[in-house]
């Protein structure tokens, strides 16, 4: 430690601390050298280096120094302010100093971790430290603003993640609005027959939760609805939800489904999206018997009444509750919430992007989701594994990593495909007795009882061939191959190329971000990673938080994940939302802008710049006025004010100019 | 000058995208040139063109400004304001003899740690080739020239006065 008297009497007394962060910083930057350098800078009263500044003793040291040495400013050189700024502000407050008399210097993420030249990194650290010490003199004492938090929550997405988050919050007594864009909740899980590795029936564990959502007095369930607009800030969001017309009054329909029988179309003949196109449905339909809410809907694309207005409307006639309303229009609803949980899920990879596997070209090639419906007891074939031409497959191939771990499509591992491929192999064998071949790159089974499930499959006589499938075609070379699909693959364990004829080929498609993930994240003002999944605030320590406070993410919208992890994450997101709500208020960063009235010349330059309409013009005084509640602290107005009369707290002109001067003064 | 020229670059990074990306580069242990000094602002829209001028005037060889991609601004549209301002500033800088990438505006999202590395390395390399800008040195030279001119003018004026007096 170096202690000295400030050379210039009028400068505030600065305490400077540099963290070793073990060897994270000290391995590249010489903390002792920086400490000694800082000690020689004007105004510095105390300068110390310490192994872990963020530890309790580190913080205690700061608090004690503030009291003992009558420090008036605090500078800590350590990691990113996004990580520990709050920690050191608290340490300052503990010592009796206003927490905003503090400036943090990022010498870990921005220096020691990214540079190898020790001398240059140490010089950079000195420059940054000098800038902060120069800047901190201009800091002002500020107070955090407290605003109340609306206790209601919005959950977007009614898959297993959204269902679990909504139920958790509702059980805690919070009013939840669950918005789902499809006609029923359940998401992808509702498509599955069994779940790995326990092979328990998906419907048996999911549908009770779906019913619980519908029945819960604290949950408002809006299916067939989408969030159109989000305004406001943490604790106080205003959300516009569009409720699409079902042409059936939800409160009147009891789900007897008599209208479906009565439809003028005697046979179902339209593409059934829920059954992945393997089945057919009528214009009036319900996705599956346990759909929640159990309410039919009418498809405007295929309904004769909605298309031409000239139908006998036998469906409406048979409905004794008079639930049909062909005049129904989309409805906009506005709700106020304090927190939002986004659980918008994933999209399965489009297998047509890999033409070598022949999906869409050969009818014997299926995607995994299609097979999920095919093996499902409530699916279009009632669980019978049958090809599109009616034959029963004798040999089935399952191609792993379609749209995963592939530089041409998606680089990431989709995490669930190995396991669901094993599950499908088991189910296909069980339902049809066919020989099943798995073509895999690596077998990834890292989860509770997952590896054991793989062992079980090995003992069941399922074939495993390690190698990425090169091509699938129908070019028979022998009479036995006639009319079958030929899988060409290099067996990397045996060391030669094989041709394996199969009747059915299953493509284990990977998980991708939803097609409109970018639009959705813009609507909610959160970020996406390069692959397009929603970005968490911190990959390890804040996995369900986002960079926008009060908005949380759960499930496969953040990254590919299986059901247990999704449920765990949904619970975590609900807990974070509860923590926010139950505190009752949030403290907002006081980085808002304000106008120095005497200096404002009334030019109105700032007025059109504010994206939040926080600036108004006081006509009597001819001055601009900033509403600090609406201001979000971007500082665009402060940068534009020609008279310099707009000040942004924490980022005042004096503060930034002194930082520029400090960083370059040498 | 025997020492190799190492450019000094001042960067203004917005809190939500580019600063986060620089943190990500750190967490990912990407290695890049140690020539950039980052100043954090909440939004690239906070960057007053005077900040850029001040940095050059104080001896920066380059100034880098980083914000969110168009359409992705945390504050809806701050980066559009930045773009307009900086396009105007670039014209002005050109008249002052500051061009060829000494000032650079880049959109770097919070997920693009790698872009932070490429941009910083590329800019450092280019500015190194341009050599020092040394505006403070030039200011001194210009001041000297002006002083000399003044001296000359007052000298000749004095001479003229004596002529008149005669």
DSSP code per residue over A521-562? HHHTT--B-TTSSBPPSBTTTBTTB-SSTTEEE-GGGTS---
Confidence of residue A476 (pLDDT cuts 50, 70, 90): very high
Residues A458 and A452: their CA atoms lie apart, in Å, by 10
Cis peptide bond N-terminal to A293, omega within 30: yes
Out of B8, B20, B75, the one facing A632 most closely (by C-beta) is B75
Which letter, b or e, does each residue of A224-263 get, where b requires 16 or more Cβ atoms within 10 Å of its Cβ? bbbbeebebbbbbbebebbbbbbbbebeebeeeeebbebb
DSSP code per residue over A147-186? EE----EEEE--SHHHHHHHHHHHHTT--EEEE-SSSSS-
Is-contact A35 A16, C-beta < 8 A?
yes
Out of B23, B54, B59, the one facing A657 most closely (by C-beta) is B54
Residues B63 and A452: their CA atoms lie apart, in Å, by 58
In chain A, residues under CATH classification 3.40.50 are 2-136
In chain A, residues under CATH classification 3.30.70.20 are 593-648
Residues B35 and A419: their CA atoms lie apart, in Å, by 48
Out of B19, B42, B110, the one facing A527 most closely (by C-beta) is B110
Is-contact A199 A429, C-beta < 8 A?
no
Rounded to an integer, the average pLDDT of A583-605 is: 94
Q: Which CATH class is domain B9-133?
A: alpha beta
Residues A563 and A576: their CA atoms lie apart, in Å, by 20
Q: What are phi and psi of A637, to 5 degrees?
A: -70, -40
Cα separations in angstroms, A20 against A41, A53, A79, A447, B62: 20, 8, 10, 37, 30
Q: What are phi and psi of B29, to 5 degrees?
A: 55, 35
Checking if the pLDDT of A612 tops 90, the result is no
| Fold designation for A2-136 | Rossmann fold (3.40.50)
Q: Which CATH class is domain A593-648?
A: alpha beta
pLDDT tens digits, A171-180: 999 999 999 9
| C-alpha A601 chain-centroid distance | 45
* Residue from B11, B39, B52 to probe the interface with A (highest A Cβ count within 10 Å): B39
Residues A501 and A480: their CA atoms lie apart, in Å, by 9
pLDDT tens digits, A419-471: 999 999 999 999 999 999 999 999 999 999 999 999 999 999 999 999 999 99
pTM for the model: 0.87
Is-contact A370 A276, C-beta < 8 A?
yes
| Secondary structure class of B66 (helix, strand, coil) | strand
- Asked if B110 lies within 8 A of A123 by C-beta distance, the reply is no
The answer for residues whose C-beta is within 8 angstroms of residue A10's C-beta and 6 or more apart is none
Confidence of residue B1 (pLDDT cuts 50, 70, 90): very low
Is the minimum CB–CB distance between B66 and chain A shorter than 8 Å? Answer: no
- Asked if A611 lies within 8 A of B43 by C-beta distance, the reply is no
- Token representation of residue A503: 């009747």
Is-contact A205 A195, C-beta < 8 A?
yes
| Secondary structure class of A109 (helix, strand, coil) | helix
Confidence of residue A4 (pLDDT cuts 50, 70, 90): low
Confidence of residue B162 (pLDDT cuts 50, 70, 90): confident
pLDDT tens digits, A486-544: 999 999 999 999 999 999 999 999 999 999 999 999 999 898 988 999 999 888 889 99
* Residue from A536, A639, A648, A659 to probe the interface with B (highest B Cβ count within 10 Å): A639
pLDDT tens digits, A325-365: 999 999 999 999 999 999 999 999 999 999 999 999 999 99
Given phi > 0 = left and psi -120 to 50 = alpha, else beta, which region is A474? alpha
- Asked if A634 lies within 8 A of B58 by C-beta distance, the reply is no
Rounded to a whole number of angstroms, the distance from the CA of B102 to the nearest CA of chain A is 16
pLDDT at A538: 86
In chain A, residues under CATH classification 3.50.50.60 are 153-244+330-345+514-585, 347-512
- Asked if B25 lies within 8 A of A663 by C-beta distance, the reply is no
Rounded to an integer, the average pLDDT of A622-629 is: 92
Is the minimum CB–CB distance between B113 and chain A shorter than 8 Å? Answer: no
- Token representation of residue A329: 């229009």
Closest Cα partner for A181 from A345, A404, A4? A345
Rounded to an integer, the average pLDDT of A152-168 is: 98
Task: Write the CATH number of the domain with boundaries A347-512.
Answer: 3.50.50.60
**Is CATH 3.50.50.60 the classification given to domain A153-244+330-345+514-585?**
yes
Closest residue in B to A110 (Cα) is B26
pLDDT tens digits, B71-90: 889 998 899 999 999 999 99
Cis peptide bond N-terminal to B100, omega within 30: no
Share of chain B above pLDDT 90, in %: 82
Confidence of residue A6 (pLDDT cuts 50, 70, 90): very low
């Amino acid at each position: 430690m170096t202690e000295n008297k400030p050379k210039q009497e009028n400068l505030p007394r600065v305490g400077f601390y540099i963290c070793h962060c073990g060897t994270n910083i000290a391995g590249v930057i010489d903390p002792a050298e920086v400490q000694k350098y800082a000690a020689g800078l004007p105004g510095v009263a105390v300068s110390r280096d310490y192994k872990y500044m963020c530890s309790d003793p580190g913080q205690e040291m700061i608090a004690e120094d503030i009291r003992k040495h009558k420090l008036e400013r605090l500078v800590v050189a350590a990691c990113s302010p996004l990580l520990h700024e709050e920690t050191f502000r608290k340490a300052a407050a503990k010592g009796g100093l206003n927490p905003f008399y503090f400036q943090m210097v990022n010498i870990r993420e921005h220096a020691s971790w990214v540079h190898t030249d020790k001398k240059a990194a140490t010089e950079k650290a000195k420059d940054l430290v000098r800038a902060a010490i120069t800047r901190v003199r201009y800091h002002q004492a500020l107070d955090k603003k407290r605003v109340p938090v609306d206790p209601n929550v919005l959950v977007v997405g009614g898959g297993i993640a959204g269902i679990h988050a909504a139920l958790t919050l509702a059980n805690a007594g919070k009013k939840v609005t669950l918005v789902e864009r499809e006609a029923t909740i359940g998401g992808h899980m509702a498509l599955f027959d069994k779940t790995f590795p326990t092979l328990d029936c998906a419907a048996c564990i999911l549908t009770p939760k779906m019913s619980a959502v519908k029945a819960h007095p604290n949950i408002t369930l809006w299916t067939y609805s989408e969030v159109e607009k989000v305004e406001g800030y943490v604790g106080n969001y205003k959300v516009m939800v569009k409720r699409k017309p079902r042409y059936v009054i939800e409160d009147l329909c009891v789900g007897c489904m008599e209208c479906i029988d009565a439809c003028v179309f005697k046979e179902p003949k339209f593409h059934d999206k829920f059954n992945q196109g393997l089945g057919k449905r009528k214009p009036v339909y319900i996705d599956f018997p346990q759909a929640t809410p159990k309410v039919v809907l009418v498809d405007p694309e295929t309904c004769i009444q909605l298309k031409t207005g000239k139908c006998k409307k036998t469906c409406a006639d048979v409905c004794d509750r008079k639930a049909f309303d062909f005049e129904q229009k989309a409805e906009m609803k506005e709700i106020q919430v304090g927190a939002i949980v986004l659980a918008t899920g994933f999209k399965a990879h489009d297998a047509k992007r890999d033409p070598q596997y022949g999906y869409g070209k050969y009818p014997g090639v299926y995607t995994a989701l299609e097979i999920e419906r095919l093996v499902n007891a409530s699916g279009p074939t009632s669980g019978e594994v049958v090809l599109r031409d009616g034959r029963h497959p004798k040999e089935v191939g399952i191609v792993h990593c379609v749209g995963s771990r592939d530089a041409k499509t998606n680089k990431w591992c989709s995490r669930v495909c190995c396991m669901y491929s094993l599950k499908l192999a088991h189910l296909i064998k069980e339902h049809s007795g066919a020989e099943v071949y798995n073509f895999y790159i690596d077998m990834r089974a890292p989860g509770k009882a997952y590896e054991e499930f793989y062992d079980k499959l090995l003992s069941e006589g399922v074939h495993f061939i390690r190698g990425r499938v090169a091509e699938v075609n129908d070019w028979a070379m022998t009479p036995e191959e006639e009319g079958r699909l030929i899988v060409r693959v290099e067996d990397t364990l045996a060391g030669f190329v094989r041709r394996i004829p199969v009747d059915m080929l299953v493509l284990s498609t990977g998980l991708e971000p939803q097609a409109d993930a970018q639009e959705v994240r813009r609507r909610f003002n959160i970020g996406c990673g390069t692959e397009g999944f929603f970005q968490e605030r911190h990959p390890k320590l804040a996995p369900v938080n986002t960079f926008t406070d009060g908005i949380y993410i759960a499930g496969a919208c953040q990254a590919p994940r299986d059901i247990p992890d999704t449920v765990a994450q949904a619970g975590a997101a609900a807990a974070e939302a509860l923590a926010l709500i139950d505190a009752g208020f949030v403290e907002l960063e006081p980085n808002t802008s304000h106008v120095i009235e005497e200096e404002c010349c009334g030019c109105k330059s700032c007025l059109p710049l504010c994206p939040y309409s926080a600036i108004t013009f006081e006509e009597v005084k001819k001055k601009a006025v900033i509403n600090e509640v609406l201001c979000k602290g971007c500082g665009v107005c402060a940068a534009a004010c020609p008279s310099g009369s707009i000040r942004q707290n924490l980022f005042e002109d004096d503060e930034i100019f002194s930082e520029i001067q400090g960083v370059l003064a040498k | 000058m025997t020492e190799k020229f190492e450019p000094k670059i001042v960067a203004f990074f917005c809190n939500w995208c580019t600063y986060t990306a620089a943190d990500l580069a750190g967490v990912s242990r990407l290695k890049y040139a140690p020539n950039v000094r980052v100043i954090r602002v909440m939004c690239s829209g906070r960057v007053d063109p005077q900040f850029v001028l001040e940095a050059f005037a104080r001896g920066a060889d380059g100034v880098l400004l980083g914000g969110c991609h168009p359409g992705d601004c945390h504050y809806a549209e701050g980066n559009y304001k930045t773009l307009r301002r900086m396009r105007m500033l670039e014209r002005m800088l050109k008249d002052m003899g500051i061009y060829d990438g000494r000032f650079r505006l880049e959109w770097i999202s919070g997920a693009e740690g790698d872009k932070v590395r490429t941009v910083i390395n590329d800019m450092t390399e280019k500015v190194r080739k341009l050599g020092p800008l040394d505006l403070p040195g030039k200011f001194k030279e210009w001041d000297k020239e002006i002083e000399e001119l003044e001296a000359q003018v007052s000298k000749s004026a004095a001479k003229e006065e004596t002529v008149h007096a005669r």
